[in-house]
Chain A
Amino acid sequence: MANFFTDNDDIQFLFNHLDLAEIAAAQEDDFTQPEGRDYAPVDAADAIDNYKRILSIIGDVAANLIAPRAEQIDHEGNTLNEDGTVTLNPLVRRNLDDLAKADLMGFTLPRKFGGLNCPSLIYTMATEIVSRADTSLMNLFGLQGIAETINAFADDPIRNEYLPRFSTGELTGAMVLTEPDAGSDLQAVGMRAWQDDDGQWRLTGVKRFITNGCGEILLTLARSEPEIKDGRGLSLFLAERSPRIRVRHLEEKLGIHGSPTCELVYDDAPAKLIGERQRGLVPYVMSLMNGARVGIAAQSLGVAEAAFRVARRYAYTRKQFGVSIERLPAVAEMVTEMKIHIEAARTLTYETSRVCDLEYNNLRVLELNPPKDAAVLKKRKDRSRALKRLNGMLTPMSKYYSSEMCVKVASDAIQVLGGSGYMKDYPSERYLRDARITTIYEGTSQLQIVAAVRGVCSGAFEKRIDELEQANYTDELLGTLKAKLIEARQLVFKAIVFVKEKGVEYTDLQGRRLVDSAIAILVGHLFLSQAMKNDHKKAITRHFIETRLPEIHANVERILSGDRSALDEYAMLAGPLPTV
Chain B
Amino acid sequence: MPLVSIKEVHKSFGKLEVLRGVSLDVKKGEVVCIIGPSGSGKSTLIRCINGLNDIQKGSITVEGQEVNDPKLDKLALRKKVGIVFQQYNLFPHKTALENVMMAPVKVLKEPKREVEERARALIAKVRLSGKEDVYPGHLSGGQQQRVAIARSLAMRPDVMLFDEVTAALDPETVKEVLLTIKELAAEGMTCILVTHEMGFAREVADHVYFTDRGVIVEHGPPEELFTQAKDERTQRFLSQIF
Q: Do A and B bind each other?
A: no
| Chain B interface residues (CB < 8 Å from chain A) | none
